[in-house]
Amino acid sequence: MEIKKVFVVGAGLMGSGISQVCATAGYDVTMRDINDEAVARGMKEIEKSLGRFVKKEKISEADAKAAAARVTGTTEMAAAADADLVVEAVFEKLELKQDVFGQLDEIARPECILATNTSAISITSIAAATKRPDKVAGTHFFSPVPMMRLCELIRGLLTSDETMKAVEDWAVSLGKETVLVQKDVAGFIANRVGLAMFGVAISLVEAGVASPQDIDKAMKLGFAHRMGPCETADLTGIDVLTNAMKAIYNETQDERHWPPELMLRMVTAGLLGRKTGKGFYDYSSGEQVAYWTV
């Protein structure tokens, strides 16, 4: 099936990023969120991000304007009715995603593919909320979506070969490199490995072994990581990572995947990273500033 129209559920960091790369690749995009304010923030973020690409001369001003014009904002789920592909990018909660997919299953055309941007939750569990599990797949983008090249493609237990081929062709058309996850395990590849690293790194901060900045420095200089685990946690959102770790733990019952107590306390305190102005670093000045001491 040829994909021309993409419907994105969620206008936050991930949803707006997915909408941007789709529009830049020439797709007509409708981006939906629960209220006008959230949609407006998402549209503004797309314009800002495209502006940064123009400034860096990675895209022309004319192409940036054309991409922005391809994105339409809405608060209506019913706008998914003419989509060829829907990408869900809501908060990492199984019940929420199942509710969204249940609605989409009633609205979207029978041939429409339903994709989830979940970073850890079982694709099969999400697909169970629909009558078309063969047309449900995982398309896990990484943040920030316009910059990160990877997209994990995850097959649910009942996902068809045709669906997997369609989402792979689509992801490649966005300029992404893909990896195929053939077995639906919580956390897939990247987060099954990466979240274990985050857990260990944050446990070291919690135990007073080293500061976030020294742990990040060690991983960047010692392992050639572009960002350290604490910086990456702040960028992604401490709450998002916490829920992803819980999803893996709930499936595996492996204590190694339970989030450190410090992460749980940070979520309670609202120290979620960049989006709240403070996490392992302080962003209130507009710059990343180290403040954590051990």
Quickly tell me which residue has 């790369």 as its tokens. 21
Catalytic residue (choose from 19, 191, 211, 243): 191
Catalytic residue (choose from 16, 49, 117, 140): 140
Residue 144 CA to residue 12 CA, distance in Å, equals 11
Order of strands across the sheet that contains 150-155: 71-74, 28-32, 5-9, 85-88, 113-116, 136-141, 150-155, 177-181
> Is 191 a residue of the active site?
yes
> Is 160 a residue of the active site?
no
Catalytic residue (choose from 19, 49, 119, 211): 119
Which alpha helices (DSSP H) does the chain contain, by range? 13-24, 36-55, 61-69, 94-107, 123-127, 161-173, 190-206, 212-223, 229-236, 238-252, 261-269
Going 78 to 81 to 82 to 87, the CA torsion angle's sign is positive
> Is 243 a residue of the active site?
no
Cis before 144 (ω within 30) = yes
DSSP-assigned letter for residue 32: E
DSSP-assigned letter for residue 258: S
Active centre residues (catalytic): 119, 140, 152, 191
